[in-house]
Amino acid sequence: MSFSSEVKEELSRYTDSARHCQIAETAAILSMCGRVTISVRDRVSVRIQTESLYVARTWHRLLQKAFHITGEVSVKIHGVRGQNRTYSVTVGNHRDALRVLEACRLVTPALEIAEKLSLVDNLLVQRSCCRRAFIRGAFLVAGSISDPRKFYHFEIVCATMPKAQQLREIICSFELDAKIVERKGHYVVYLKEGDQIVDILNVMGAHNGLMDLENIRILRQMRNSVNRKVNCETANIHKTVSAAVKQIEDIEFLQAHTGLERLPENLAQAAALRLEHRDATLKELGQMLTPPVGKSGMNHRLRRLSEMAQKLRETGEYEERTE
């Protein structure tokens, strides 16, 4: 099961105790995947159709709790091997259907169905708890979260721009920075930062998913920290090895063309130690000198030898001086 499915499974078992929150979540589900049918006799019925068992189960439960209505459930099996299912939950009674639509603010005062089942106004989501429930319902129907082991991305797909803008406003009321992008004729409300996805999980009530995400984030941060340290140490080792190779090349060049015996005593001693202990660090070489010198002192002598070798390459001679 994907991380997104785990979160939806958890949310589908979440039950608000307040009826106004139950209605807000009912409205979100109906707005996202609902259909209203009006017969020739002006009889209204309401139906949601979804491929998600979590959505069907949640809406069926909400109808019972908020309206004391038992929806009619049907399942259509399709696909090459019958592995796909489409769930429908219908409120066929005219009065019950109108009660649901009116409570969910999906009809005008004149009993006209709102276009695309959009909320007529924001009265339904004035309370913070109702906004949480509305986001939860919208996510159950049309949301997804990427696998946090790979990257961070949370989104809810809306059919129209007004729905997307309304949902974005509701999400941003929790101090989150949701954005909208158009994709294949739909409008996607999304979050991309790990901290904000943790917050939206908390807003929706997906506390188990939140803890799982936080654990993954901690492991990722630790792994990234270790990788940075390893890369840094590797770079330092590479830098040290490259410097030692260059020092040895310069010393061998001086030895071949002038002989180390012509060098000042302190430089000749440093050169001999570097040739003898090719893998030693500057600190270790400095401790081998008599008297011992520090890392900076040893580095100064080896740098002086490199400068002499470079000058010898360029001019055929170098300046002899006592260090």
Average pLDDT, the chain: 87
Q: Please determine, for residue 247, whether its predicted confidence score (pLDDT) is greater than 90.
A: no
| Mean pLDDT of the region 207-228 | 86
Segment 122-141 shows an average pLDDT of: 90
What pLDDT, on a 0 to 100 scale, did the predictor assign at position 125? 86
Q: Report the pLDDT value the prediction gives residue 140, as an integer from 0 to 100.
A: 95
Average pLDDT over residues 209-237: 84
Q: What confidence category does residue 117 fall into, taking pLDDT thresholds of 50, 70 and 90? A: low
**pLDDT for res 282:** 84
Q: Which of 81-85, 152-156, 251-255 has the lowest mean pLDDT?
A: 81-85
| Mean pLDDT to the nearest integer, 177-192 | 94
- Pairing outcome for strands 72-78 and 44-50: unpaired
Residue 277 has pLDDT above 80, yes or no: yes
Predicted structure pTM score: 0.70
pLDDT value of position 171: 95
Query: Looking at residues 68-77, what average pLDDT do you find?
Result: 92
| C-alpha to C-alpha distance for 177 and 192, rounded to whole angstroms | 9
**pLDDT of 27 over the 60 cut:** yes
| Predicted local distance difference test score (pLDDT) of residue 323 | 45
| In the predicted structure, residue 107 carries a pLDDT above the cut 80 | no
pLDDT digits 0-9 by tens, 195-217: 999 999 999 999 999 999 988 88
Work out the percent of the chain whose per-residue pLDDT is above 70: 93
Residue 60: Cβ within 10 Å count: 18
Per-residue confidence (pLDDT) for residue 111, from 0 to 100 = 63
Residue 138 scores a pLDDT above 50: yes
- Residue 322 pLDDT grade (very low, low, confident, very high; cuts 50, 70, 90): very low
**Once rounded to an integer, what is the mean pLDDT over residues 153-161?**
94
